[in-house]
Structure 1
Amino acid sequence: MPLNTAAVEVRTAITRVLASWSGLVAEQRGTAAPRREVPALTGFLLRHLDWLSGHEAVGDLTEEVAGLMRAAARVVDAPPERSLPVGACRTAGCGGTLVARSVRDSGTPPEVVCTATPAHRWELHEWLPKDADQEPGPQDADGDALHAAAAATSLWLSATDIARLWQAPRGTVYRLASEKGWRRRSRAGRTYYHAGDAQRSLAERGRRTGS
């Protein structure tokens, strides 16, 4: 299951802020600080709410907690993100992993993003090789690292992968693969389709339906 980094970051921020205010209360009231866990920190602050309401910094506390609530709401209400690992980042000196990623109901096509450096990103059609069987040559290696990496990766996806990335019913994927003659390969008894063919067909379908 893909890690929801936004949720992790918000939870970390919540823990940090609550622990900071709990530390202030414990120090100024001469009491033991609670465990560094959100339920314990929240309960501790609520028990000292009357004292906090009269503290000179109560405005800052209120502002920080409100900000955390907004951040948490954005994570909870965000459209589900789908991702599929496609290999190591090919940007020189970067040790991150590339994932093909899409956000449901966003209206934007999938893109390839580095998990370590989000600035390393490309739209999926930029990442895909024009010819799935091409090999990166000297010109690719020297002048176009992106297409060299794409050719080396040769992105082939299962019908399930395609349905997940483009939020399309699997029946539609199989139908388009047959109608449009998508290139395919078999590995260990499973069929994989060329992602470039899927990209073109599903983009055309989206334009016709207005999605």
Structure 2
Amino acid sequence: MTTATAPIRLTDRKRAAILEAAVTEFRQAGYEATSMDRVAASAGVSKRTVYNHFPSKEDLFAHILQQLWERSLASPELTYRSDRPLRAQLLELVQQKLQLLHDEAFIDLARVAIAAVIPSPERAQEMFARMGNKEEGLTVWIRAAAADGRLKTTDPMFASMMLQGMVKGFAFWPQITLGQPILTAQQRKQVAETATDMFLAHFSSE
């Protein structure tokens, strides 16, 4: 039994080492300067081993972003409930978003990703398409609340983008473009509550 499972554990350890090394290399050197050779050397594995796990640097980087996103959104997805106050539900959704943006590794890699894709729209589309639409949960919630007559909007996607814009204006873009520190707990609380209240002041029908 031990002999049969050992190769799988070794493969998993190598994959984990590759991902850890890649995160370090991308954060320190940037996207263009990071090569599969550098990742292999940092992970202590052969270049062939890296390629066995990830066919390309683009695939490796996209996997890292996906992993960070999923780890940060580990809490159960919140669904709309007609028996709960709107503010309490929406505040939880906004706080989930802010929790993701509190991850320093995610912010660092998002900065690297944006720098890498700005010169290449094709690369941007490919990279972020692999990540999927991870903000759809908020749009689904808004659509359900509107269908229930508790929100006034005929365009849930637009309403969702407006709310996300308020949040990212404090907790994402200043950190990405200006190198500002991530928000403190008190600042996150202030942004979450203010953005929620401003959104409901316009869209709530209650």
> Does TM-score exceed 0.5, indicating one fold?
no
Between structures 1 and 2, the one with greater strand share: 1
**TM-score, length-scaled by structure 2:** 0.26
Indicate the structure (1 or 2) with the bigger Cα radius of gyration: 1
Greater RCO (CA < 8 Å, at least 6 residues apart): 2
**TM-score, length-scaled by structure 1:** 0.26
Between structures 1 and 2, the one with greater helix share: 2
